[in-house]
Amino acid sequence: MTLVDTNVLLDIATNDPKSAAWSLRRLDAAAIRGPVLLNAVVYAEFSVGYARIEEVDKVLADVDLKLAETPRPALFLAGKAFQRYRARGGARTSALPDFFIGPHAAVAGFSRLTRDPRRYRAYFPGRSSLRRTRRNDDDPCGTLSIAASTALRPRRSSRRRCA
């Protein structure tokens, strides 16, 4: 099982010129290996581009992304990671989303799919994090490619601009 980070979904949804192709290939590869999941934090971040909850739910269902509940031990670990962040001089006064995504994957034994693994490595070492590496066009692509590349994109009429 793979827990996907918001940046990967947004790369695809916004057709990011630098990262969409990489994110789509990685999402395809993760789907071939097994279920691809997101947690409540990723759901909340991803939903910003949609006007209605039904749209978000349909998009995620269309590409077979499942919402996984964050286990209590992961929430505790998130608090401890944030405590270490603050002790190291971190300026944020509230926990960053990565502090909820990283522990969820670690506690549940999931792989993480992210384009930016730095914070995960700093606070949650020892768990694999799929990340951007050299371009490899020979990556396996499943049937999720076409569905994800179009289904994750919000319809123009319902899309809001984010700051």
Please state the rounded mean pLDDT for residues 80-103. Answer: 84
Task: State pTM to two decimals.
Answer: 0.73
Q: Which two tokens stand for residue 4?
A: 């996907």
Residue 51 pLDDT level (bands cut at 50, 70, 90): very high
Please give the single-letter amino acid code of residue 154: P
Give me the pLDDT at residue 106, please.
82
Span 130-141, pLDDT tens digits = 444 333 333 333
Span 11-34, pLDDT tens digits = 999 999 999 999 999 999 999 999
Strand pairing of 2-4 and 111-113?
A: parallel
Distance CA 50, CA 14 (A): 12
Tell me the three state secondary structure of residue 113: strand
Residue 109 pLDDT level (bands cut at 50, 70, 90): confident
Q: Which domains does the chain have, with CATH numbers?
A: 2-158 (3.40.50.1010)
Angle at alpha carbon of residue 51, lines to 159 and 55, rounded to 5°:
95
